[in-house]
Amino acid sequence: MMDLTALPTQLSNNTDAHTQSINDATINDGEHEQTLGANNPPATDPNAIILAQALTDKAISWRIHNCKISQKTITQDLPLPFLYHYDSLDDVVKQTYPLTPKLLAQFNTPMTAQEAAKLIGIDEALISNPWHVKVIGSLVVFSEALQLAVRLHWTNTGKETQQIYTKDKDDAIIAAFKEWQFFGRIDILYKNNKQALISIDELSIDTETNQPLPLTIEANMEYQYLPATHALVVIAKLEADKAELPWFETAILERIA
């Protein structure tokens, strides 16, 4: 059986004060992780496991472990450029309070909904105050049969926050995660030394064979960091097949509830 003691088990609700970039592929998740080398020899074993295909194979009994939140922002107190506030107004209100040179001069000025209402000269109740939602987390998906665990990162938006115009906080969270996505780095824990595991980057072409050059992922007792170009391939495959892989969304929605 796969030793899950090697997998992280501590759940966290801590909020990270720094915004994590959607293109971040260099986060250090552990002192003992190794980076997979780009010069590994091509795998020739016809029975080799192809990482992206395996992760999206519904016939494999994948399980989710340690789905956790690393950053969580849900607030109505963050400022937005004035134009966002004005655009959210009802058309009748816009006709009654058209844009003036004074308002146009403030179009890109960050402010709260209350400040925007005061600038326009309207009651605060007439202007929407959106929820700003940003949640970042990670999860480990693993197959005991393959002796393979993969740590993935997920978020509701690649922007600093996502603006959701609902009255209720819980409704805002649900709405924000209708378009959740995978992003960032991927870490591999592979303990099966009897079957080759490879990752294929379609953009890395062997000049002699004109075929994609596979990256061999050796069996190891520690997590190994998948190079960024290969991580993008895996993420693209997961995103394309996400609707057919409900266990990911189920775990994430349960965690943010």
The residue segments making up the domain with residue 189 are 4-76+131-256
- Is the same domain home to 151 and 204? yes
Given 94, 126, 158, the domain boundary residue is: 126
- Is the same domain home to 95 and 154? no
- Is the same domain home to 98 and 34? no
CA distance 237 to 249: 15
Rg (CA), the chain: 23
- Is the same domain home to 163 and 69? yes
* DSSP secondary structure of 18-38: SPPPTT-------TT-EEPPT
- Is the same domain home to 229 and 112? no
Q: Which one-letter amino acid corresponds to residue 171?
A: D
User: Which range has the worst mean pLDDT, 10-24, 55-69, 84-98, 195-209?
Assistant: 10-24
- Is the same domain home to 101 and 187? no
Cβ-proximal residues to 24 (8 Å cutoff; 6+ apart), any chain: 183, 184, 185
pLDDT surpassing 70 at residue 156:
yes
* Secondary structure (3-state) at 224: strand
Residue 157: C-alpha distances to residues 109, 167, 181, 182 (Å): 23, 20, 7, 10
- Is the same domain home to 29 and 101? no
- Is the same domain home to 163 and 247? yes
Tokens of 237: 């495959």
pLDDT for the residue 44: 55
Task: Indicate the average pLDDT of the chain.
Answer: 84
Whole-structure pTM value:
0.78
Q: Kind and range of the H or E element at 75?
A: strand 63-75
pLDDT surpassing 50 at residue 31:
no
CA distance 176 to 242: 17
Give the mean pLDDT of 235-254: 96
Q: Kind and range of the H or E element at 101?
A: helix 101-104
Question: pLDDT tens, 52-91?
Answer: 999 999 999 999 999 999 999 999 999 999 999 999 999 9
Q: Is 41 exposed, middle or buried (0-12, 13-18, 19+ CB in 10 A)?
A: exposed
- Is the same domain home to 84 and 202? no
pLDDT for the residue 213: 79
- Is the same domain home to 149 and 97? no
- Is the same domain home to 87 and 140? no
Question: pLDDT tens, 93-136?
Answer: 999 999 999 999 999 999 999 999 999 999 999 998 999 999 99
Q: In 82-180, where do the E strands start and end?
A: 110-111, 131-143, 148-155, 162-164
Q: Are 84 and 100 in contact (CB under 8 A)?
A: no
Instruction: Give 208's pLDDT tier (boundaries 50, 70, 90).
Output: confident
pLDDT for the residue 229: 93
Instruction: Give 210's pLDDT tier (boundaries 50, 70, 90).
Output: confident
pLDDT surpassing 60 at residue 23:
no
Q: How many domains does the chain have?
A: 2
pLDDT for the residue 24: 41
- Is the same domain home to 201 and 97? no
